[in-house]
Amino acid sequence: MCDTCGCNVTPGNAHLAHTPNERGESAVSVLSSLLTANDQVAAHNRAHCDTHGVLALNLMSSPGAGKTALIEATIDALKDELRIAVIEGDLETENDAARVRAKGVPAHQITTGTACHLDAHMVHEALHHLPLAGLDVLFIENVGNLVCPASFDLGQHRNVTLLSVTEGDDKPSKYPVMFRAADLMLLTKTDLLAVLDDFDTKRAEANLRALANPAPAIQLSARKGAGMEHWIAWLKQEVRDQRHRVAARVSLRPAIQPDGAKLHQSFGQWRIRG
Amino acid sequence: MSSRDLAMHELSVCQALLEQVATVAKSHRAQSVSRIVLRIGPLSGVEPQLLQAAFPLARGGTFAATAELVIEDLPIRVKCEQCGAETDATANRLLCGRCGDWHTRLLSGDELLLASVELLEAEEACATPVAAT
C-alpha cells in the first residue's frame, strides 16, 4: 500500500474515486508531494547509509564558497580517525573528485550536464560506486547554487549550508528556502573578514534566526585553520549520534523535513471526492 | 543564476509531476488528463510562474498533453512557540506577528502538492465505472 500509485484504491472504494461528470471528466484528489518519487529514492538512500552506519551530510552553498576546501581540510584533520568518502556534484569536470582523491579518500563525481542540483536518483547511482561498508562519513557536495538544491532530499541526515564572508551577510534573507533547510550554517573564509568592512557575522546569524532556524552558526577558515575545531567537534558529535541511532535502529532526516513528513502522512493519501 | 537554470529546476519538477499524473490516469484507466491542480507555498523553492512556463514544454506526448495547469498559492503562516499566536509571515521573516519572537513553527507555506487531477474517461470506462469490474 502506498500513496502514489493508486494501489490503495480498492474495488470497494473505487466508485468513490471515479465519478465522471457529463463531459466524461472526473476529479481525483491526490494531495501528495510533487517530489514523491524523489523522496522515495531519498528514503532508500538514507536506509542504505543507515544499514552501513554511515552519516550522510549534504553540503550546499553558492559556487566558490569553499565546499571542496572544507572537505579537504576536514580529511586532513580526521583521516586517522574517521573513514570518509565524497560524492561531488558539478555541471562539468572531474576537478573536485580529483582534489578529494589526491587526499587518499574515495570520491565519485556526478556531472549533471545542465541540471542545477543533485537529486536522489543521481545520488543513488553514485552510492553504488563507493565502498559504503566501513565508512563513517559521506559528504555529498551539491552543485554550487543557493536555489534549487534546497528542494531535493538526497537521503542525507543533515544539511550543512556554507556562506562565505565575501558573499554578503544578507544571503539568508535573500535565499530563505536554502537557509531554512540548514542544520548547520558555516561562515567560511573568515580570514578575509579583516579586509571586508561590510560583512557582519552577527547580522548573518540574525538573518538565519529570522527564518525561525535554530541551527548553530560556526565561523571558520578552511585555508588558515581558524575555527576548524568547532566544525570538527560538531562533525564528531554527529558521527557519535549517528552510531547511537544506528544501534537503536532509528533514522534521522534533516531538521526541516519532519514537518514535510507529517504533511505527507496527513495528506499523502488519495482523498476520495464523493 | 540564470533564468535558464531556474527553468531547468522547474522543468524537473514538472517531469516529476507528470509522472505522478500519468500514474493516477493509468490507475483510473483514463484516456487523458484535462486539469491538474497544484498547491504551492512560497517556501517550497518552486516558482509558480516558472512552473507554468515549463509545463507546456514538459506535457507534450504525455497523458496531460492538453491539460490545463492550475496553481493555488498558499500563504505563509507561523505558530509562535512562545506566545502561541498564529500569524501571517513573509518568506524571510518567519517571526511571530504578535510578539516578534523567532521561535516559530511553520503551519503553511512550504507545500509542493499535487492537489487533484481531472480525468477524461475512456468511453467504455464512462459507461462502466472501475468499481464494477
Residue B10 sits in a domain whose CATH number is: 3.30.2320.50
- B61 and B81 both lie in a single domain: no
Domain co-membership, B41 together with B84: no
A31: nearest CA partner in chain B: B115
Q: Report how far Cα A274 is from the mean position of its chain's Cα atoms.
A: 40
B131 found inside a domain? no
Average pLDDT over residues B80-107: 97
Taken as a whole, chain B contains a residue count of: 133
C-alpha cell at A269: 493519501
Owning domain of residue A215: 36-257
Residue ranges of E strands in chain A: 25-33, 55-60, 84-90, 107-111, 137-141, 158-164, 184-188, 217-219
Measured CA to CA, the distance from residue B46 to residue B71 in angstroms comes to 11
Q: How far apart are CA A87 and CA A68, in angstroms?
A: 11
What is the per-residue pLDDT across A97-150, written as a single tens digit (0 to 9) for each? 999 999 999 999 999 887 888 999 999 999 999 999 999 999 999 999 998 898
- Contact state of B1 with A145 under an 8 Å Cβ cutoff: yes
A116: contact with B, CB 8 A cutoff: yes
Which cell goes with A11? 474495488
State the average pLDDT for chain B: 85
Q: Give the residues across from A137 on adjacent strands.
A: A55, A84
A8 within some domain: no
Q: Is the pLDDT of residue B6 over 80?
A: no
Judge if B38 and B60 occupy the same domain: yes
Q: Tell me how crowded residue B85 is: count the other CB atoms within 10 A of its CB.
A: 14
ipTM rounded to 2 decimals: 0.76
B7 and B63 part of one domain: yes
A9 pLDDT above the threshold of 80: no
Where does residue A126 rank: exposed (0-12), middle (13-18), buried (19+ CB within 10 A)?
Answer: buried
Report the chain B residue with the minimal C-alpha distance to residue A263.
B111
On whether the CB atoms of residues A64 and A58 are closer than 8 A, the answer is no
- Examine the domain organization and report whether B66 and B85 are in the same domain: no
- Note whether B67 and B90 are same-domain residues: no
| All residues at 6 or more sequence positions from A99 whose CB lies less than 8 Å from its CB, including other chains | A68, A72
Domain that holds residue B89: 75-108
Between B123 and B44, where is the model more confident? B44
Structure confidence at residue B13 (pLDDT): 86
pLDDT of residue B45: 87
Spatial CB neighbours of B32, under 8 Å, sequence gap ≥ 6: B25, B63, B64, B65, B66, B67, B119, B120
Asked, for residue A62, whether it belongs to a domain, the answer is yes
Give yes or no: residues B70 and B5 share one domain.
yes
Number of C-beta neighbours around residue A177 at 10 A = 22
Interface contact B45-A177, CB threshold 8 A: yes
pLDDT at A260 over 80: no
On whether both B98 and B70 belong to a single domain, the answer is no
**Residue A75 included in any domain:** yes
pLDDT tens per residue across span A49-92: 999 999 999 999 999 999 999 999 999 999 999 999 999 999 99
A131-142 burial string, b = 16+ CB within 10 Å, else e? ebeebbbbbbbb
Measured in angstroms, the CA of B65 and the nearest CA of chain A are apart by 16
| CB–CB contact B12 A32 (8 Å) | no
Q: Within a domain: residue B114?
A: no
Rounded to the nearest 5 degrees, what angle is found at the Cα of A194, between the Cα atoms of A193 and A198? 55
* Domain assignment of residue A107, yes or no: yes
pLDDT of amino acid A24? 62
With beta carbons less than 8 A apart as the criterion, state whether A153 and A35 touch.
yes
CATH classification at residue A210:
3.40.50.300
Closest CA to A145 of A167, A126, A123: A167
B89 and B38 in a common domain: no
Number of domains in chain B: 2
pLDDT of A28: 81
So what's the pLDDT on residue B4? 44
Assess whether B57 and B46 both reside in one domain.
yes
Residue B43 maps to a domain:
yes
A2 part of a folded domain: no
Query: What's the pLDDT at A262?
Result: 38
Q: Distance between CA A254 and CA B77 in Å, rounded?
A: 21
Separation of alpha carbons A85 and A108, rounded Å: 8
Give domain status of residue B92, yes or no: yes
A91 touches chain B (CB under 8 A): no
Q: Give me the sheet containing A84-90, strands edge to edge.
A: A107-111, A84-90, A137-141, A55-60, A158-164, A184-188, A217-219
Residue B133, domain member (yes or no): no
Q: Considering only CB atoms, which chain B residues are within 8 Å of A12? A: 131
Cα A203–chain centre separation: 24
Please tell me the predicted confidence (pLDDT) of residue A29: 81
Q: Which tens digits make up the pLDDT trace of A180-222?
A: 999 999 999 999 999 999 999 999 999 999 999 999 999 999 9
Give residue A33's pLDDT: 83
Q: Indicate if B59 and B79 belong to the same structural domain.
A: no
Based on the fold, state whether residues B104 and B49 are members of the same structural domain. Answer: no
User: How many residues in chain A?
Assistant: 274
| Residue A1 within a domain | no
Per the structure block, which three cell numbers stand in for A270? Answer: 488519495
In a domain, A19, yes or no: no
Is B5 a residue whose pLDDT tops 50? no
Count structural domains, chain A.
1
| Chain B hits for A24, Cβ within 8 Å | 120-121, 123, 126
Mode of pairing for the β-strands spanning A55-60 and A158-164: parallel
Nearest to A257 by CA among A154, A161, A174, A164: A154
Nearest CA-CA partner of A136 in A110, A106, A109: A106
Residues 122-181 of A with CB under 8 A from B: 145-148, 150-151, 172-174, 176-178, 180
Is residue B38 within 8 Å of B49, Cβ to Cβ?
no
